[in-house]
Amino acid sequence: MIVIRRAIKEDLKNVYELEKKCFKDPYPEAVLLMLYHLYPELFFIAENTGEKKIVGYASGMVRADGFGHIISICVGEEYRRRGIGRKLMEVLESAMRVSFNVCNFRLEVRVSNESAIKLYESLGYKIVSRLKSYYLDGEDGYLMIKSTC
């Protein structure tokens, strides 16, 4: 069974292992730790309870302008297309709403990341601008925003 729950500090090593599998420019473990310490209520994992294995995670923060910022989301390759990514996004947005009264959300995504863009669009996010050379390898990003205010 897959459950979504708040991360605990002991999860972070395994979250980092997953992060490295999901991204070619993964966040360093220290950044994940910092995100967890700054916003523990906005750091979620998806766990396969049978194997006690972390199969996905999502993390966010609240910006000074009041926007909830989706910092990272990933689901292990063999667990994709089962609704885990969508559920993580919904739980994270809901936690931002409840804990921080957030009603505007934003995120950045590689222009080539069709699966993630489809997921975000299906949740109501819209592309508002193109961010030139946003990523380390020079690829552009899209800024996507969802407003529920």
Q: Which residues of the shown chain bind ligand COA in the complex (CB under 6 A)? A: 22, 73-75, 80-86, 109, 113, 115-116, 118-119, 122
Q: Crossing angle of helices 114-122/84-100, nearest 10°?
A: 50
CB of 50 to ligand COA, least distance (A): 18
Specify the residue, 122 or 148, whose C-beta has the smaller distance to ligand COA.
122
Specify the residue, 63 or 101, whose C-beta has the smaller distance to ligand COA.
63
CB of 92 to ligand COA, least distance (A): 12
Specify the residue, 101 or 121, whose C-beta has the smaller distance to ligand COA.
121
CB of 146 to ligand COA, least distance (A): 14
Q: Crossing angle of helices 12-22/29-38, nearest 10°?
A: 120
Specify the residue, 95 or 119, whose C-beta has the smaller distance to ligand COA.
119
C-beta nearest to ligand COA: residue: 85
In angstroms, the CA 95 to CA 43 distance is 9
CB of 23 to ligand COA, least distance (A): 6
